[in-house]
Structure 1
């Protein structure tokens, strides 16, 4: 669960937001005549200009969460930084366009298509004749074969994180010439377009030692507009330099430096020139907006003297952390002065806004407690006003506040359809009826625990855990599940999920994260429910790191909605380090918030997220990535059928049926698409909030003097 970025497939398909490469192939069939294709809720927001307006040279300093532990996207500890590097330096047969649809990458492919279906599926790749590795060798069948053998799952010496699709390949052969590669499958595979993106050279994939260790800190051979110059862990940099053997349009920039900066320090890094491009949270976006408008103001009077009371009031209104607000006058005045200097520098930046190809969900643990009963889970779903939750997060950011209607695709993608009708919309009476049918009744007697017993409820057994903090509020992190099977925090601008918006705690002025005038839920809470002497109380587990305000705000609003139908919940905050490993993955929660990326290949990538848990030989239960532990045989069968059909219309129909059944089981409730807020230096073009689209690295650069950029259509 890579809370940062991306790909469900246990491990980076490329965490970079749905990656750059891994995406699929050509020609998706259009919608039927009786349906309208969906559109992305928000387009990409970048200063898009023609290459002749971009200056040659310069360095782009791009903030990432951390220096990647590995440059091999197929390893378990790959992250979003790994994906960024792979997108810039390695071949990808397919990439996503602005509508979230996969397209062939002409830099590497002349064509790719299924040429036989009987007796076996055969895919023919015709490679761009100019495509060469940086050592001068042509990209060809030997590289495809090496990657297949490494990722097929047949050799355990390769420490791979996933082999989906590669395990269905029977053989790979050279075609009529060196530019043709023919891949024969042992059984039909609809998502064949996801393979070989990125493609590593045979030098990396050829042996277990090279795969396991050779590409962790360096890539000697590459084939993109950039190549890896060096990985400098001391400076927290990955330096990418122009590839002199690149055959496409030459990169405008001399260098791209991926620089690790924690989320809570991004505004300062932009201001001091450490970075030119950074994903930011809602509070930092507001800071830049104030700087550009000249409305930052100053608490200092003409003489420079200001009372500590006025300083604290001003600092509070501008989102200063409570620790700084409560500091003595001298320290506080120094902090305010630093802030005002940074505001002057932030005038040189714009905020670009879009929606990430990922969504935030409410996860319901169906393996233990009251939520094992599907009626209770469905009651939770019917208690939620998802429109209100979307507005809470997205409206203050000027983004479309539309709830996500699918677990398996986002609006704009071919498989998207709103399947939420399978569980139903917000309906208090229906939720209460479901609870009553499950035996939970208002005002039921609650047994007092006997001596030595633990009290029932969400706080049972938690008092001794040092990493947890019971709370009715506070801030908590936002997470997005990734392919590496690990969780990473992201405090973006949305749900943290990693992209957040919240109320003025931790770095935002009051009212910065919730629409002005938004009132707390007014409905009176229902009488508490009980069954067999136990109250209906759920433990809502959230991370507690910086940038997690949105998750907490959303959780508090959900708690109020549940209270209206008689369900009590208590927020339990845990450390970022333990949130995923000790709670989500282990099943130690009732309710939780985290995000999943949308995949261009849901039949492959989403299956492990919703697969029915099965007992293992040792007596444990294998949940794969299904952290809610809710699954059905029918959903599994629909995924398998979708992955095995080469008819794209039929596959899309099967995916939508699977989604409707996932909704009905109510193990997870999609809430809203995550916001994407990016601070960008004003003269930096062809870079920003990319939305679905894979970045075009060779076109990024700085605007020529005298050239102009058209204003963004999404905001002023």
Structure 2
């Protein structure tokens, strides 16, 4: 799970009150009709080139967020870098294709199929006869069995983060020969293809001590095109070198160096030649694109800055010696900054931006544990107030990516389980949102506890000033809190703002009244009963003496600009139906632990990765919270605290159904009910922007597809990649 700029994953949403159980779910498409899964909204962008055009040798320096704390993907502190290393050095029985669907990996697996269903499900794996570990031992049943025992959950001495699927296995045994592995399940398991990817050697999985400790800092035995030769936490890098025992197509690169570089420093690192490939934010992408386009254009001190430069010259050459000295020093600093910027831009001209959509989506989470959002009608009203197309457009259109809202919580367009089930909740409808709020008892101009509300407003205004100041001081925002929609009498506050939002233009009532006494503006008064203009903010809603105000928690660190843009639009949409929003910006490192996971929020934006196996991987995200033995609430990964028995039952049925079509239908039904419960609202698929050295091929924005590490490399002199250019990216981030 992640929000734009922050990653956290254990690798790793009618006026009458409608319950999810009472909802009429749209009919699931039958086998004979058109597949609702569709196609991916964007393909991978990797500058594909035939292996014959790729030079032998070379080093790829690849930016990662951090050197991983563990190389064991099944531990709780595994991260994206852990997975990247595992993909390059360990066996995976299946890997994802361009549609995000699992495909057999022929380097390790000749075949795998269900050979028995009665009395129990049996899967027979036939391994590639050339597949061996780096110590020369054949990959076989002993490795499969060791991994099953470690991850089954039966032995708590193994510090595992997940055991889904492995807990359904009854036994693993050798087949007719050493290359066959028979896996017998005690309960049917539809997602059996998710298992043994990656596969660790029995040396790692064989004992709790080896599982817990030996694979954290090193992997002595591997079986991929690369091997781990160095993990340097002090030097912030992991070195992978070509595996001489690899039986598949030889790796083109001799070395891959995974180098830890913070995202806000990656443009500088690219320009300095420290990295060759890095996922970047829209601002850095704009710099790379501009460097490729703008050769010979004006420097930052030309054009619009000419007047400022003239004033600077006048001060520096005036009679005030102190002011002149300060100005000369400032001019020298500016000159050095300009020279440094121009030098970096020239260096960035050797890179290009390759872009796709990440296999993850950003959602608006609604905390249904308590407060106003515990009422499903209020959650549904929030959802009906949102124009998801506009939100997707704000982030993706400036990048030249398809701005299509995500229609499922459980899969993305192109994946087998995908279908747009958003109709179970309904689209944007301001009138319906207001009706739902009224039905829930939130009424326009309702009585508010005067004394408490007056004190609260004082605090809100003070916090609002700090929040606005922080926004002004920092383009990414800073820590602070402010209230959106404070002036209930203001008209359409969107007027006068740019498309990307900006400072909220609430008017002070006394100042406004004074202006009217002085004559005011024509049309300032309207006859009683005149309808509010389209898009105008609604008045305050109240219930039981309290206003309807939701706390919207956002990260404040680098990379959060897109989220803040989306949040600004959401607050304006909610304001139109009478919902006020209190925005709290918190530090990245505390965002999930102290706010999302602990339930200290009403609204929040964060992302979930898409899985090819939603019946297994998505269940804990949407499972109904249950009381634990100690009296606390066990929410698993369901941070919205919204769940239903029906959704749990559909997941259970889907994971136990071996008919793939039937299993997909059950997943789609579960998704429709998740939409109806309105605990989370999928907004858009996240953009994937990657800066890549121009001569580096078969690498970049991978989209759904698992990277093919042995094919990455640098073009031979004079060679050109296949057509399918990497398009440029706008400098705007929406």
The TM tier, using the shorter chain, reads 0.7 to 0.9
- Return the offset for 1:2: 4.6
1:628 aligns with 2:640: yes
Stretches (4+) displaced over 6 A: 4-8, 309-312, 456-460, 468-474
Give yes or no for contact 1:476–1:551 (8 Å, CA) kept in 2: no
> Does 2:68 align with 1:68?
yes
Deviations 1:81-103 (CA, angstroms, capped at 9, x unpaired): 00110000000000000111110
Distance 2:470 2:307 in 1: 36
| Count of aligned pairs | 643
Cα deviations across residues 256-311 of structure 1 (Å, max 9, x unaligned)? 00000000011111111110000011111111111101255303569x99955899
2:663 to 618, 642, 651: 651
Q: Which residue of 1 aligns with 2:384?
A: 382
| Equivalent in the alignment of 1:249 | 249
- Given the alignment of the two structures, is residue 679 of structure 1 paired with residue 691 of structure 2, yes or no? yes
Question: Does the Cα contact within 8 Å between 1:66 and 1:81 map onto a contact in 2?
Answer: yes
Deviation by residue 1:57-88 (Cα, 9 ceiling, x = unmatched): 00000000000011000000000100110000
Checking the alignment, whether the CA contact within 8 Å between 1:471 and 1:573 is kept in structure 2 is no
- The structure with the largest helix share of the pair is 2
The whole-number CA distance in structure 2 between the counterparts of 1:57 and 1:311 is 52
Give the distance between the partners of 1:390 and 1:40, measured in 2 at CA.
16
Matched residues in 1 for 2:311 and 2:263: separation?
29
Please report how far the alpha carbon of residue 443 of structure 1 lies from its aligned counterpart in structure 2 after TM superposition. Answer: 1.1
Q: Give the equivalent residue in structure 2 for 1:33.
A: 32
Determine the structure 1 residue equivalent to 2:653. 641
- What residue in structure 1 maps to residue 439 of structure 2? 437
CA gap 1:33/1:568 in 2 versus in 1, 3 angstroms? same
Equivalent residue for 1:370, pick from 356, 369, 372: 372
Shift of 1:197: 0.3
Q: Distance in 2 between matches of 1:263 and 1:328?
A: 29
What is the correspondence of 1:305-324 to structure 2 with a 5 Å cutoff?
307=308
Alignment of structure 1 residues 167-316 onto 2, 5 Å: 167-294=167-294, 297-300=298-301, 307=308
Contact preservation (8 Å) 2:418, 2:668: yes
TM-score when normalising by structure 1: 0.85
- Asked if 2 retains the 8 angstrom alpha-carbon contact of 1:6 and 1:80, the reply is no
Find the counterpart in structure 1 of residue 610 from structure 2.
Answer: 598
Q: Measure, in 1, the Cα distance between the counterparts of 2:345 and 2:670.
A: 50
Distance in 2 between residues matched to 1:5 and 1:264, nearest whole Å: 9
What SS does the aligned partner of 2:216 have? coil
**Aligned partner (choices 387, 392, 395) of residue 393 of structure 1:** 395
Judged with a 3 Å threshold, the aligned counterparts in structure 2 of structure 1 residues 68 and 309 are, in CA distance, closer, same or farther, namely farther
Is the contact between residue 456 and residue 534 of structure 1 (CA under 8 Å) also seen in structure 2? Answer: no
Counterpart CA distance in 1 for 2:153 and 2:404 is 40
Residue in 2 that maps onto 1:490: none
Give me the whole-angstrom Cα distance separating, in 1, the residues matched to 2:422 and 2:557.
32
- Contact in 1 for aligned 2:6/2:588 (Cα 8 Å): no
Corresponding residue number in structure 2 for 1:703: 715
Residue 335 (structure 1) shift? 2.0
Per-residue CA deviations over 1:403-432 (Å, capped at 9, x if unaligned) read 000000000001100000011000000000
Q: Distance in 2 between matches of 1:206 and 1:4?
A: 38
1:441 offset after TM fit, Å? 0.6
* 1:552–1:523 Cα change, 3 Å: same
1:424 corresponds to which of 411, 426, 447: 426
- For 2:173, what is the secondary structure of its paired residue? strand
Structure 2 SS opposite 1:274: coil
Q: 1:103 to 1:31 in 2, by over 3 A?
A: farther
For residues 527-676 of structure 1, the aligned pairs below 5 Å read 527-676=539-688
Deviation readout 1:330-365 (Å, 9 max, x if unpaired): 333322221110000111111001000000000000
Aligned to 1:482: none
Equivalent-residue separation in structure 2 for 1:126 and 1:169 (angstroms):
18
Encode CA deviations 1:355-400: one digit per residue, 9 max, x unaligned: 0000000000001110000000000000000000010000000000
Runs of 5+ in structure 1 lacking a partner? 14-29, 313-326, 479-509, 516-520
1:163 counterpart SS class = coil
Structure-1 separation of matches of 2:334 and 2:32:
64
Query: Aligned partners of 1:522, 1:458: CA distance in 2, in Å?
Result: 31
Q: Distance in 1 between matches of 2:438 and 2:459?
A: 21
Match of 1:524 in 2: 536
1:165 aligns to what? 165
Cα distance, 1:524 vs structure 2: 1.0
Q: Aligned residue for 2:520?
A: none
* 1:476 shift after superposition: 5.8
Structure-2 change in CA distance of 1:477 and 1:53 (3 Å): farther
Structure 2: stretches of 5+ with no match in the other structure: 13-28, 314-328, 479-496, 502-532, 729-734
Q: Matches of 2:398 and 2:125 in 1, distance apart?
A: 46
Q: 1:370 to 1:391 in 2, by over 3 A?
A: same
Q: Could you tell me whether the CA contact under 8 Å between 1:272 and 1:345 is conserved in 2?
A: yes
CA RMSD of aligned residues (A): 2.9
Give the Cα separation in 2 of the matches to 1:706 and 1:262: 34
3-state SS, counterpart of residue 572 of structure 1: strand
CA distance in 2, matches of 1:4, 1:697: 26
- How far apart, in 2, do the equivalents of 1:213 and 1:469 lie? 48
Deviations 1:165-190 (A, max 9, x none): 00111000000000000000010000
The secondary structure found in structure 2 opposite 1:216 is helix
TM-fit CA distance, 1:710: 3.1
Q: Which residue of 2 aligns with 1:16?
A: none
* Alignment match of 2:361 (pick from 352, 359, 362): 359
Partners of 1:4 and 1:214 lie apart in 2 by 33
Which has the higher Rg, Structure 1 or Structure 2?
Answer: 2
- Contact between 2:550 and 2:582, CA under 8 Å: does it hold in 1? yes
Structure 1 residue 328 displacement after superposition: 3.7
